[in-house]
C-alpha cells in the first residue's frame, strides 16, 4: 500500500468531514432547542448563501452584504418561531417535524422566486487549489479553503459549546429541549429561546453555505448536502455540538477511504450510501450517538 496516498485520502476525507459537520451544526442547534429534526436546514443553507450572493449582485460590497444577510437570516428565524413554531407549542415531535418539512418547501420556493434559479459563482478570495509549499514538503493536497473550513468549524463549535454550557440562555435551551411545557411553567421564555436558536441556526447556515458555495457554486443542489448531515447527526448524537465534528470526521474519512480502496471492486458510488450504513450500525449499537444524551423514559 502506498502510505503517502493513504494519508492523502485520509486527510481529504477528514477535511470533507469538516464541511459536513458545518451543515450538521445547524441541525443540532434546532434539535437542542425544540427536540425536532429540522428538515428545512438544507433549504436554509441554500437561501442564506443565495441571498448573500443576490445582495452582492444588487451592488452591495462583500462586507455590507454579509451583515444584511445575517439580519435577513435572523429575521427568517424570528418569523419561523412566530408563525410556524409558536402555534405548535406542546404539540408532538412528529407535528413539529412535519412543520419543518413544510417550511423547507416554502424556503426553497421563496429563495428561487426571489433570487431566480441561475447558478452563481461565489468568490470569497480564498483559493481552493493545493497549497504549493505544503504539497511539496508533504505530498498532501490541502487548499486554503480546506484550512479555512477547519478553522471556522472549530471556532463555531467552541463558541456554541460555551453558550450551551456556560450561559443562562444555554441552560434555558436545554430545559426547553427536555420539555416545552415544563420549561414554560418555570418561567423560561420559550418564544425568545426558539427565536434566538432559529436565528443562530440561520447564521450557521450562512457560514456553511458560503464555504460550500465557494467550492461548488451557489445553486439548488446545495440543499442536497443536508442529506450528508443526517448520518453525521445520528453518529455524533443529535444533541452534541462537539459530537458532529467527530462524527463528520468519521463519516468523511470512512467514505473516502472506502470509495478509493473498495469502490473499484464494486463499480464505485460507495460514498453515496456508506454513511447511512454507518448510521444504521450506530443506531443498532448506540442509538443516542457517540456524544448524545442517553434517552431514559419511564414506563
Partner 1 sequence: MINRIVRLIWLGISAALIALPLHAEEQYFGIPSSRVGPYSAMGTGYYGGIIDYLTYVNLKGGVNGVKLTWSECETEYNAARTVECYQRLLNKGNQKMVVFDTLGTPGAYAVIGRMAQDQVVLAQYGYGRTDAADGTVWPWVFNAAGHYWGQIGVKLAFMAQKEGGIPKMRGKKIVHLHIDTAYGREPLPAMRQFAKDWGFTLIEIAIAPPGLEQQSQWLQIRQERPDWVTFWGAGSGMNSTAITTAARVGFPREKMIYVTFGGAEEDMLPAGDAAKGTYVSANAVPGDFPLIADIRKVVYGAGKGNMQNKERVGTVYYNRGVGAAIMWIEALKNAQAIHNKKGKAVTGPEFRDGYEALDMSEAKLKELGVLGMLAPFKLSCAKHDGAEKWRMMQWDGKKFQLVSDWVNPPNQALIRSMIEESAAKYAKENNLTPRSCPPSS
Residue 101 engages partner 1 in binding (rule: CB under 8 A): no
Rounded CA-CA distance 271/64 in Å is 38
> Helix (H, G, I), strand (E, B), or coil: what is residue 130?
strand
Nearer to partner 1, 50 or 96 (CB): 50
Residue 272 engages partner 1 in binding (rule: CB under 8 A): yes
- Which residues inside 105-124 make contact with partner 1, applying CB under 8 A? 108-109, 112, 116-121, 123
Rounded CA-CA distance 139/136 in Å is 6
Rounded CA-CA distance 225/252 in Å is 13
Name, in order, each residue with C-beta under 8 angstroms of 79's C-beta and a sequence gap of 6 or more.
none
Q: What phi and psi, each to the nearest 5 degrees, are found at residue 130?
A: -55, 140
Residue 217 engages partner 1 in binding (rule: CB under 8 A): yes
Provide, rounded to whole angstroms, the least separation between the CB of residue 183 and partner 1: 38
Residue 104 engages partner 1 in binding (rule: CB under 8 A): no
Rounded CA-CA distance 165/266 in Å is 46
- CA dist list (Å): 195 to 46, 52, 83: 20, 21, 11
Nearer to partner 1, 75 or 117 (CB): 117
Rounded CA-CA distance 167/241 in Å is 15
Residue 58 grid cell = 444588487
Provide, rounded to whole angstroms, the least separation between the CB of residue 269 and partner 1: 4
| From 82, 174, 191, 215, residue interacting with partner 1 (rule: CB under 8 A) | 215
CB 237 within 8 A of CB 290: yes
Residue 138 engages partner 1 in binding (rule: CB under 8 A): no
Nearer to partner 1, 224 or 287 (CB): 224
Residue 41 engages partner 1 in binding (rule: CB under 8 A): no
Residue 9 engages partner 1 in binding (rule: CB under 8 A): yes
CB 99 within 8 A of CB 88: yes
Provide, rounded to whole angstroms, the least separation between the CB of residue 143 and partner 1: 6
| From 70, 220, 290, 293, residue interacting with partner 1 (rule: CB under 8 A) | 220
Which residues here bind partner 1, judged by CB under 8 A? 2, 5, 8-9, 12-13, 15-16, 19, 108-109, 112, 116-121, 123, 128-130, 141, 143, 212, 215-225, 228, 255-256, 259-260, 263-264, 267-273
Amino acid at each position: 500500500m502506498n502510505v503517502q496516498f493513504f494519508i492523502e485520502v485520509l486527510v481529504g476525507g477528514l477535511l470533507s468531514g469538516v464541511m459536513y459537520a458545518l451543515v450538521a451544526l445547524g441541525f443540532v442547534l434546532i434539535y437542542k432547542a425544540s427536540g425536532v429534526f429540522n428538515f428545512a436546514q438544507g433549504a436554509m443553507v441554500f437561501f442564506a448563501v443565495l441571498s448573500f450572493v443576490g445582495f452582492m449582485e444588487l451592488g452591495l460590497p462583500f462586507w455590507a452584504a454579509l451583515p444584511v444577510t445575517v439580519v435577513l437570516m435572523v429575521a427568517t428565524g424570528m418569523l419561523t418561531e412566530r408563525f410556524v413554531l409558536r402555534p405548535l407549542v406542546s404539540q408532538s415531535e412528529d407535528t413539529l417535524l412535519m412543520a419543518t418539512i413544510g417550511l423547507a418547501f416554502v424556503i426553497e420556493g421563496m429563495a428561487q422566486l426571489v433570487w431566480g434559479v441561475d447558478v452563481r459563482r461565489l468568490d470569497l478570495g480564498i483559493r481552493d487549489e493545493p497549497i504549493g509549499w505544503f504539497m511539496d514538503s508533504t505530498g498532501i493536497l490541502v487548499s486554503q479553503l480546506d484550512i479555512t473550513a477547519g478553522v471556522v468549524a472549530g471556532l463555531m463549535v467552541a463558541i456554541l459549546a460555551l453558550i450551551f454550557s456556560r450561559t443562562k440562555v444555554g441552560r434555558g435551551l436545554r430545559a426547553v429541549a427536555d420539555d416545552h411545557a415544563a420549561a414554560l411553567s418555570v418561567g423560561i421564555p420559550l418564544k425568545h429561546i426558539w427565536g434566538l436558536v432559529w436565528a443562530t441556526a440561520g447564521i450557521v447556515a450562512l457560514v456553511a453555505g458560503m464555504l460550500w458555495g465557494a467550492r461548488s457554486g451557489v445553486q439548488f443542489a446545495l440543499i442536497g448536502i443536508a442529506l450528508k448531515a443526517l448520518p453525521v447527526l445520528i453518529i455524533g448524537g443529535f444533541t452534541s455540538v462537539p459530537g458532529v465534528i467527530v462524527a463528520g470526521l468519521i463519516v468523511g474519512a470512512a467514505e473516502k477511504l472506502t470509495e478509493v480502496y473498495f469502490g473499484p471492486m464494486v463499480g464505485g458510488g460507495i460514498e453515496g450510501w456508506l454513511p447511512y450504513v454507518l448510521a444504521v450500525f450506530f443506531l443498532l449499537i448506540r442509538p443516542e450517538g457517540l456524544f448524545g444524551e442517553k434517552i431514559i423514559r419511564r414506563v
